[in-house]
Amino acid sequence: MESTRSKWLWIAASALILVWTVFPILWIVMLSFKRPGEIGNQKGFLPHAWTFENYRTVFRTDLFTAALVNSIGISLIATFVGVVFATLVAYAIARLEFPGKKAILSFALAIAMFPVVSLVGPLFNLWRDIGLYDTWPGLIIPYISFALPLAIWTLSAFFREIPWEMEQAAQVDGATTWQAFRKVIVPLAAPGVFTAAILTFFFCWNDFVFGISLTSTDNARPVPAALAFFTGESQFEQPTTAICAAAVVVTVPVVVIVLLFQRRIVAGLTSGAVKG
Amino acid sequence: MAAISMKNIVKLYGDGFPAVNEVSLDVRDGEFMILVGPSGCGKSTLLRMIVGLEDITSGEMRIGERVVNKIAPRARNLSMVFQNYALYPHLTVFENIAFPLRLAKVPGDEVQRRVTETAELLELTEHLERKPAHLSGGQRQRVAMGRAIVRQADAFLFDEPLSNLDAKLRGQMRTEISRLQRRLGVTTVYVTHDQTEAMTLGDRVAVLRRGVLQQVGSPRELYEEPVNLFVAGFIGSPSMNFLPASVDRSADGASLHTPLGRFELRDPRKAAAIGEREVVLVGIRPEHFEDALLVGEEKRLRGSIVQARVDVTEWLGNELYAYVPYEAPPDVAAQLRDLSRELDSDQLRTQAVVALDAGSLITAGHDADLWIDTSRIHIFDPATGTNLTRDEERVAELSRVAEQSRDAQRRAQREAPDPAA
């Protein structure tokens, strides 16, 4: 009896949380299918007349398509570079003894705790002086530095899980430290690398503060920032529905990535390495 | 193939604790050397220093003609089987075994040929495409061995390779390792804490205690002529009984007063070895006791008979263990307790374990007449633990016998076709 009751409690609680989190998303999806004139005039959660007009508008706008290219490019580059750095750093932290190890970890944590907004002003000035303002590298650099701490912490936890013997076995088998790292440690840490990559990608993809402050044109402006400049098709109507459509468009890759890689993230690849 | 020679090897840890202290040991070319000792005696550390995974604080390590103190593990051309196998979980069995060859940039068809041969030798052929996670413990163990023997390493190093297997499999794999080593004739160093492995596998066994080498010799030498209390207690299971004894000298020898009773020491060599000592420790192996009723007249004269109260008996089918508690002076009792703790057995009381013929009808709670084969006893100095009655002539004879059997085995192995070559 006890178990069925607790089961129902769990189901109820999960349903509540599901509604809580899914409802806003559904709302945005619904809004994106409404006609621009519907908002404020007609009540109702579901659109009175379903339309793809907003999506067409979004993709016809240069502002949005340019921003989409920027977002994808900047996020991918920042993720790749950040994860490569983080992998090397995390390996060193997990495996090697060197002075200042603690300092690096605490520094990384301190950076993660730093309020992003407080850095935007100085960066804005600095970037304008050295010509990085409104360029891809101008966004990639701060993204990497803010994503690194989380990636380092995640990855070093993964590296610590890998038995030391794996690497020693590789060394005895004739591998250099680099070969042992590349052929044994990195494949084993793949779930960790994926996790770190996805977290970094989300951070870059969702960022708004840097995106709006360090760009001024289509050169480098990412989607979240671009949405704020959205005017819609007609200046006589609120662009709410078009913004919602754009929001849905930028959410889709995130959902796809999570669905694609969730098995990689949770897979415990190390099973079978040692006795079991 | 190569000999491994260690000269005054020391390993100090950061806190100054010597894990290995002044160990000098020569492993001959093609020899199967066992490193044995209770946990924490430094045997694994020593092995890891041979392979290069631990730095050597001082001393000289030679493999073949080369001093390898400063040479990286990958350049030492040794192969090692780890206690937990350390297989690469993301690679198939084939690629696991091929790993050292791939690193050495061996051409593809050569890799194919050698891995296939190794797999046949270890009966892994049908598992080559599987991942380690899907293998049983024994199969994983064989993959780890395959990875070790696939390339022509100068020596094999084993770090308690069988300790994760169940008893039955352990027995099988033990025979397997022995067969393989004789067949390949490669110098092997094998770390274990298992009695049976130590006694059956090795050409020679090295016993370590707290980082110090105690004795190196053939299994038989260690068992029959141990150099000190520690080796005597460590080798053999159940271990040797140590009885405190006060010495009475007489014209034709000496008699020993032990808690189990008094008996004569007829061997003049052993009597002389006691010297001026008043108190000694007498070491008697469990199997050198017998139920007096089952001992024939002629045999009876070779030993002495004592009367003792048997506390507990264990009938095992092939023999009968009887436990005989005795009182010992507090200082000796404390010394024996320390020793047993060091041997990982932690015996709570002073008692003698005697192994009798399974036909014996001795029952617990009764006094029994026990015959002791006094010609086989050892006498130890209670202060230093040294074996006073070690017979050097016998030691020389035993090592000659061991040498002969080793030569015979090597000859047989050389004549047998070698599929891994």
* B55, B71, B74, B87, best to mutate vs chain A, most A CBs in 10 Å: B74
Average of pLDDT values for B236-258?
A: 83
Q: Decide if B13 touches A, using CB distance below 8 A.
A: no
Task: Please state, rounded to an integer, the average pLDDT across all residues of chain A.
Answer: 84
Contact A165 B87 (CB under 8 A): no
Strands of the sheet with B312-315, listed across from one edge: B312-315, B319-325, B351-357
pLDDT of res. A274: 42
pLDDT of res. B227: 92
pLDDT of res. A253: 81
Task: Please state, rounded to an integer, the average pLDDT across all residues of chain B.
Answer: 87
Instruction: Give the nearest chain B residue to A169 (CA atoms).
Output: B86
Q: Decide if A106 touches B, using CB distance below 8 A.
A: no
Average of pLDDT values for B381-409?
A: 86
Residue A118: domain span: 62-229
Contact A273 B89 (CB under 8 A): yes
Of residues B84 and A15, the one with the higher pLDDT is A15
pTM of the predicted protein model = 0.78
Pick from B15-24, B172-181, B184-193, B247-256: least confident: B247-256
pLDDT of res. A266: 57
Q: Give tens-digit pLDDT for A167-192.
A: 889 989 888 888 888 888 888 888 78
B 246-305 near A (Cβ less than 8 A) = none
Measured in angstroms, the CA of A150 and the nearest CA of chain B are apart by: 26
pLDDT of A233 > 70? The answer is: no
Contact B99 A173 (CB under 8 A): yes
Measured in angstroms, the CA of B184 and the nearest CA of chain A are apart by: 19
SS (H, E, C) A10-50: HHHHHHHHHHHHHHHHHHHHHHHCCCHHHCCCCCCCCCCCC
pLDDT of A276 > 50? The answer is: no
Residue B231, H or E segment: helix B229-234
A 144-203 near B (Cβ less than 8 A) = 163, 165-166, 168-176, 179, 183-184, 187-188, 190
Name the burial class of residue A261, with classes exposed (0-12), middle (13-18) and buried (19+) by CB atoms within 10 angstroms of its CB: middle
pLDDT of A25 > 50? The answer is: yes
pLDDT of res. A235: 65
CB B66 within 8 A of CB A256: no
Contact A169 B86 (CB under 8 A): yes
The CA-to-CA distance between both ends of chain A, in Å, stands at: 36
Q: Give tens-digit pLDDT for A100-111.
A: 888 888 888 888
Nearest to A187 among B72, B73, B90 (CB): B90
Q: Strand B78-81 and strand B155-159: pairing?
A: parallel
Question: Which amino acid type is present at position B164?
Answer: N
Contact B86 A276 (CB under 8 A): no
Contact A172 B135 (CB under 8 A): no
pLDDT of A92 > 80? The answer is: yes
- Class of B229-390 in CATH: mainly beta
Residue A232's pLDDT band, with cuts at 50, 70 and 90, is: low
CA distances from A201 to A80, A157, A206, A211, B268 (A): 9, 19, 8, 14, 87
Contact B89 A276 (CB under 8 A): no
Contact B86 A269 (CB under 8 A): no
pLDDT of B263 > 50? The answer is: yes
Q: Decide if A97 touches B, using CB distance below 8 A.
A: no
Measured in angstroms, the CA of B414 and the nearest CA of chain A are apart by: 27
pLDDT of A38 > 90? The answer is: no
pLDDT of B385 > 70? The answer is: yes
Contacts A165 to B, Cβ<8 Å: 82, 84, 86
Q: Decide if A270 touches B, using CB distance below 8 A.
A: yes
H helix runs in chain A, sequence order: 2-32, 53-60, 62-95, 101-113, 116-130, 136-161, 164-172, 177-180, 186-188, 190-206, 209-213, 223-228, 240-266
Nearest to B73 among A171, A190, A274 (CB): A171
Contacts B134 to A, Cβ<8 Å: 272
pLDDT of res. A267: 54
Where are the CATH 3.40.50.300 domain residues in chain B?
4-77+153-224
Instruction: Give the nearest chain B residue to A272 (CA atoms).
Output: B133
- Class of B4-77+153-224 in CATH: alpha beta
**CB-side neighbour CA atoms (13 Å) of B256:** 32
Residue A86's pLDDT band, with cuts at 50, 70 and 90, is: very high
pLDDT of B16 > 90? The answer is: no
pLDDT of res. B214: 92
Q: Is A149 helix (H, G, I), strand (E, B) or coil?
A: helix
pLDDT of res. A269: 40
Q: Is A2 helix (H, G, I), strand (E, B) or coil?
A: helix
Contact B85 A275 (CB under 8 A): yes
Q: Give tens-digit pLDDT for A247-274.
A: 888 888 888 887 887 766 655 444 434 4
The verdict on residue A178 lying in a domain is: yes
The verdict on residue A34 lying in a domain is: no
CB B366 within 8 A of CB B310: yes
Contact A273 B73 (CB under 8 A): no
CB A39 within 8 A of CB A32: no
Of residues A265 and A205, the one with the higher pLDDT is A205
The verdict on residue A56 lying in a domain is: no
Total count of domains within chain A: 1
Q: Give tens-digit pLDDT for B273-326.
A: 888 888 888 999 999 999 888 888 888 888 888 888 898 999 998 999 999 988
Average of pLDDT values for A194-218?
A: 87
**Domain CATH number, residue A221:** 1.10.3720.10
pLDDT of B387 > 70? The answer is: yes
Buried b (16+ CB within 10 A) or exposed e, B372-399: bbbeebbbbbbeebebbbbbeeebeebe
Contact A273 B99 (CB under 8 A): no
* A168, A172, A270, best to mutate vs chain B, most B CBs in 10 Å: A172
Nearest to A272 among B51, B89, B103 (CB): B89
